[in-house]
Copies of this chain bind each other. A is one copy, B any other.
C-alpha cells in the first residue's frame, strides 16, 4: 500500500556506483572524491532521497528517542513539565514518545513495554498514584535503558530522581500564618494512601511544632479531591466549635472549591479565613480575592533537570551513579 521511497541502491544503480560509495558520499566520507560526492548528492536530491531512519535505528541500536510517562497530559503541572522536556530533547536532537498512564499501574507497565520494544534510549517518568510494583526498574536496568523519575518518584534508593521537598513550603506557610497570629491552622489533605498526602501530613506536623503550635487531629481532614469531597472537608472544619482561621490545603484545585464554598457561606477571605495551598497556578493573579499564598513546586525546572540527568546517562559511556535531586518548594505570597 505504501509506495517505496528512494533507497541508496537505486541511486547507486542510476549512477553505476556501488551502494557503499553512495552511502559514503551522502555522509561526506573523506575518501570519496568531490566529483562523485556532488554527482551522488545531485541525484539523491532529484529522487527525493531520504535515509530510512528505521533501518539506521535498527543497525545503530539507537533511536534518538526518549519516552515520557506521565499520569496525565492535561494537568497544568504535567503539561508544563512535558513542554520543557520537549525543549530539552529537541536541543539534543531527540524526539519524544508520549505515554499517559492515567494513574493506572497496568497501563504504566504496558507503556514501558511499548517503549522498550521501540528501543527508546531513555525514559522519564512520574509515577501514578497507585503504582506499587516497581519491578520494571530492574527490567530496564537489565536492558540498560536509563530512567529518571521526577515529581512522583519511588521511595527506593539507587534510582535517578528529581522531586520536590514539600516541607519547605509547608514550613513557610505555617510560619506566615503564625506570624499574623493564627493559632488554629488546619490541613485539608489528599487521600491517605498517597505518598504526597503522607508527606504533607508530616511536614504539617513538623511545621506546627516548629512554631510552637500543637497538632490536633480534628484540624486534619481528608478529601478524595473531588469537588464534593473538598466541600465536605471544609464543612467538617467549619463545623468545629473552635474552627480554624487558617487552612493549608492539598493543592490549588481544592482551595478553589473551598474558597467558592466559604464565599457562599458569607465568610470573607483574609479576614474570616486564610488559605494557602500547593501548586501556584497562574490564575491566582487574576482573582479578585486570591488566597494568601500558594506553594510553588517548579514543574518545569524539575522536568528540565530530570531530562538533563537522563541525557547525561544516555551519553555516558559508563553507568553513572544514581542522582537524587531535591527541589525546595517555596511559598509565594499573593
Contacts and interface: CB of A to CB of B under 8 A. Distances in A.
A50 B117 contact: yes
Interface string A122-152: 0000000000000000010011100000000
Given A83-B72, A119-B54, A286 B96 contact: no
A48 interface: yes
A55 interface: yes
A79 interface: yes
A98 interface: yes
A93 to B, nearest CB: 8
17 contacts: A3-B143, A48-B139, A50-B117, A54-B61, A54-B118, A55-B58, A74-B80, A75-B79, A90-B99, A90-B100, A95-B118, A96-B98, A97-B98, A260-B285, A263-B288, A286-B287, A287-B288
Interface string A276-302: 000000010111110000000000000
A53 interface: yes
A184 interface: no
Interface string A98-109: 111000000100
Interface residues of A, number: 58
Contacts of A48: 139, 142
A74 B63 contact: no
A286 B261 CA distance: 10
A197 to B, nearest CB: 23
B57 A86 contact: no
Given A74-B80, A98-B96, A288-B289, A58 B54 contact: yes
Contacts of A317: 1
A261 B5 CA distance: 57
Contact of A95 (B86, B114, B257): B114
A266 to B, nearest CB: 13
B58 A86 contact: no
Top-5 shortest CB links A-B: A79-B79, A74-B83, A73-B83, A53-B117, A256-B286
Contacts of A100: 83, 86-87, 90
A117 B64 CA distance: 12
B288 A288 contact: yes
A259 interface: yes
Contacts of A116: 50
Interface in A25-60: 48, 50-55, 57-58
A257 B282 CA distance: 12
A188 interface: no
B95 A95 contact: no
